[in-house]
Amino acid sequence: MSAGGDPRRGDAAADPRGFYTEGYSVADPAHAARLGRWRALGARSKAAHAFDLCSRAGLFPTTLVEIGCGDGSLLAELSGLAALVDGFELSPTAIELARQRGIPGARRLEAYDGARIPAGDGAYDLAVLSHVLEHVPEPAPLLAEAKRVASHVLVEVPLEANRSAARPAKREEAARIGHLHAFDRAAVHALLAQTGLTPLAELSDPLSYEHHAFFGAKLPAAIKWAVRYALWRVAPRRAERLFTVHYAVLAR
């Protein structure tokens, strides 16, 4: 669902389909290519998290659905995790981009209404909601839909309930890209419990130097990455209270 950092438009809560459709409709080819590289970088790390968590839990899915699949960047990476993959997305423009990828094992790549997943109960072994719930006005119903269509659900979100992300400039940037919630680990666990999902494996990631350097100067990015990574290695829960890390959890 996330358009990868480009939204400069209206209200993500009032008109989510329009908000994300515009985010994937970038007229400048150079800018569109840069956003594509950014999404691809994110997709690689998110896919690595999914492979890691499934391995830890002993889950080897045959069928997988990504809910909020965007332009298919992550789904293309996840096609190595399951033989058959489907993707549903709010933005028709993003789905057209996903279809152009020729994703191995892809069956259904479709726009949907953002509420009711067009699949039967228990249709999949794994449902993936990666960087989607922070964009949804009411996350619990969508999480319940993921549980309805899959025996396992993988959720990844940025943990933005922290000191750094609370700064006005950071909150403004989060709103600009459509973030409606600032989660911490406890809030994600509460959502899972509310939906009747039990965590099987979880991980956090302070992100690589490549992520920090993508939009900024190399030296400050290297310093930022080194400091954050060192603190996260020594005290990961304290790090979550100070700055944003990505958090992924596999639940049943």
Domain range list for the chain: 16-205
The three-state secondary structure class of 213 is helix
CATH number of 16-205: 3.40.50.150
Identify whether the C-beta of residue 62 lies closer than 8 Å to the C-beta of residue 83: yes
Residue 2 reports pLDDT greater than 80: no
| Chain segment 216-247, per-residue pLDDT in tens | 899 999 999 999 999 999 999 999 999 999 99
| Chain segment 38-65, per-residue pLDDT in tens | 999 999 999 999 999 999 999 999 999 9
Any idea which of 19-23, 55-59, 131-135, 177-181 has the lowest mean pLDDT?
Answer: 19-23
Residues with Cβ within 8 Å of 145's Cβ and at least 6 positions away in sequence, in order, are: 67, 115, 116, 117
Cα–Cα distance, 191 to 41 (Å, whole number): 28
Q: How confident is the model at residue 12, as a pLDDT? A: 87
Total-model pTM: 0.94
Residue 4 reports pLDDT greater than 50: no
Residues with Cβ within 8 Å of 72's Cβ and at least 6 positions away in sequence, in order, are: 87, 94, 97, 98, 99, 101, 103, 106, 109
**Residue type at position 46:** K
Residues with Cβ within 8 Å of 13's Cβ and at least 6 positions away in sequence, in order, are: 137, 180
Identify whether the C-beta of residue 149 lies closer than 8 Å to the C-beta of residue 211: no
Cα–Cα distance, 203 to 115 (Å, whole number): 27
Nearest of 204, 198, 196 to residue 235 by alpha carbon: 204
